Amino acid sequence: MTTRTAVITGAGSGIGAAIAVRLASEGAAVALLARRQDRLQKLAAQIVESGGTALAVPADVTDEHSMARAAATVREQLGPVDLLVNNAGLMQLAPFGAYPVPEWRQLVDVNVNGVLNAVHAFLPDLLRSAETRTTDLVNVSSVAADRFMDGMATYGATKSAVSYFTRALRFELATRGIRITNLEPGMTGGTELMEPFPAELQGPAAELAAALPAISAEEVAEVLAFVVSRPRNVNLTRVVVQPAKEV
């Protein structure tokens, strides 16, 4: 990890922040991408104070131009990226008929288009890095990609798209030296996935989430660190991370 440069989207909180802290603690230089600049700067400062290398880069994954600028900034400040973690995402659990159209469009824009925009922006760097060193692209999907639950139609559809896109990318990029991993966490506590949505939609979803077994963001980060630290010829293509008590 001491020679690696990682980009983590959605790094302002939850799983993204935990991944950034974990990778930095193992020696990687980390670029933190999210919309909230204050959160990023605070986290970057904490990582630097702990002896790590971190760069806060405010960016919006739904805006292709914002992501292109972010890629240029990271390249200039830290060099070519060899590890991209597409973690930015939103979650809402509600019957499809209860979704206001703007909310489900936002869900699709962040969870699907956000991944596409990030890969498009950083792919040139990943391909360049893969010529000489271990290079990873990790898309954070969800167990909801192939699990049916009440109120999960829209969220599950977006994560199914991420999982399919990840598998398809591996066929395109594996022979070019980029390892592709689809990381599928189960219910994860302490995240802010539902924060952007109206309170009337958050309530039922929060109640359901509280009733389910959960893992922590730090536990997901530990698994990801294991995945990307395998020997260069080893690719863990799909990793499902769920609570031990979940059946």
Task: Round to the nearest angstrom and report the end-to-end CA distance of the chain.
Answer: 34
Are the C-beta atoms of residues 96 and 142 closer than 8 Å to each other? no
Which residues in 58-97 are b (16+ Cβ under 10 Å) and which e?
Answer: bbbbbbeebbeebbebbbeebebbbbbbbbbbbbbbbeee
Helix (H, G, I), strand (E, B) or coil at 190: coil
The residues, ordered by sequence, that sit 6+ positions from 40 with a Cβ below 8 Å of its Cβ are 11, 12, 32, 33, 34, 56, 57, 58
Are the C-beta atoms of residues 127 and 170 closer than 8 Å to each other? no
- Residues serving a catalytic function are 155
The count of other CB atoms within 10 Å of the CB of residue 164 is: 13
Q: Which residue carries 């240029």 as its tokens?
A: 72
